Amino acid sequence: MTDASAALLLAVDSWGGVASMITLAESLHGLGVNARIAAYSDYGGKVRAAGFGFIDLGVSVADYWAEQNAQRPGWARNPLRTWMALRSGLKDTALAVVSSVADAVEPGEVIVSGTLTVGTATGIAGLRGGRVVAVNPAPMTPSRLPEASLSPVTRRPSRLNDWVGRFGARVAEWLYRPSVSAGREALGLPPWTARDYLAAVNRTPTIYGVSPALMPADPAWPAHVTVTGHLLRADLKPVIPEGLPEFLAEHPGAVYVGFGSMGNAMRQSDLDVACRALAMAGRPGVIAGLAEGGELPGTGTGTPVFAVGEVSHDWLFPQLAAVVHHGGSGTTHRAVLAGVPSMAVPVGYDQPYWGRRLAEVGVGVPPVPYRKLSPGRLASAIRQLTGDPGIAARAKQLGAVLSAENGPSAAARVIMAALAT
Say how many CA atoms lie within 13 Å of 106 toward its Cβ: 13
pLDDT digits (tens, 9 = 90+) for 337-359: 999 999 999 988 899 999 999 99
How high is the pLDDT of residue 326? 93
Least confident interval from 89-93, 341-345, 387-391, 392-396: 89-93
Q: Domains in the chain, ordered, with CATH?
A: 6-230+405-419 (3.40.50.2000), 244-403 (3.40.50.2000)
Give strand ranges (E) for 142-262. 206-208, 225-227, 255-257
Give CA separation, 225 vs 47, 67, 222, in Å.
27, 36, 6
With 70 as the cut, is the pLDDT of residue 72 above it? no
The larger pLDDT score, comparing residue 292 to residue 6, is at 6
pLDDT digits (tens, 9 = 90+) for 155-184: 999 999 999 999 988 888 888 888 888 888
- Band of residue 1 on the pLDDT scale cut at 50, 70, 90: very low
Residue 82 burial class via C-beta count within 10 angstroms: exposed 0-12, middle 13-18, buried 19 and up: buried
How high is the pLDDT of residue 265? 52
Q: Are 19 and 334 in contact (CB under 8 A)?
A: no
With 80 as the cut, is the pLDDT of residue 84 above it? no
Q: State pTM to two decimals.
A: 0.92
How high is the pLDDT of residue 75? 65
Average the pLDDT over 384-410 and give the result.
Answer: 97
How high is the pLDDT of residue 262? 55
- Band of residue 3 on the pLDDT scale cut at 50, 70, 90: very low
- Band of residue 2 on the pLDDT scale cut at 50, 70, 90: very low
Least confident interval from 108-112, 156-160, 233-237, 296-300: 296-300
Residues 6+ apart with CB under 8 A from 292: 307, 309
The larger pLDDT score, comparing residue 368 to residue 68, is at 368
With 50 as the cut, is the pLDDT of residue 301 above it? yes
* Strands lying side by side in the sheet with 225-227: 53-56, 34-39, 6-11, 110-114, 132-136, 206-208, 225-227
With 70 as the cut, is the pLDDT of residue 299 above it? no
Residue 219 burial class via C-beta count within 10 angstroms: exposed 0-12, middle 13-18, buried 19 and up: exposed
The span from the CA of 366 to the CA of 48, in Å, is: 38
Residues 6+ apart with CB under 8 A from 364: 341, 342, 343, 344, 355, 358, 385, 391, 395
**What are residue 133's DSSP bridge partners?**
112
pLDDT digits (tens, 9 = 90+) for 269-281: 788 899 999 999 9
How high is the pLDDT of residue 266? 57
Residues counted in the chain: 421
Average the pLDDT over 150-154 and give the result.
Answer: 93
The larger pLDDT score, comparing residue 310 to residue 110, is at 110
| Most confident of the following: 97-106, 296-305, 347-356, 399-408 | 399-408
How high is the pLDDT of residue 182? 86
Percentage of the chain with pLDDT > 70? 93
Least confident interval from 8-17, 242-251, 300-309: 300-309
Average the pLDDT over 216-224 and give the result.
Answer: 96
Of 316, 294, 318, 317, nearest in space to 306 by CA: 294
Q: Are 146 and 157 in contact (CB under 8 A)?
A: yes
Average pLDDT across the chain, whole number: 89
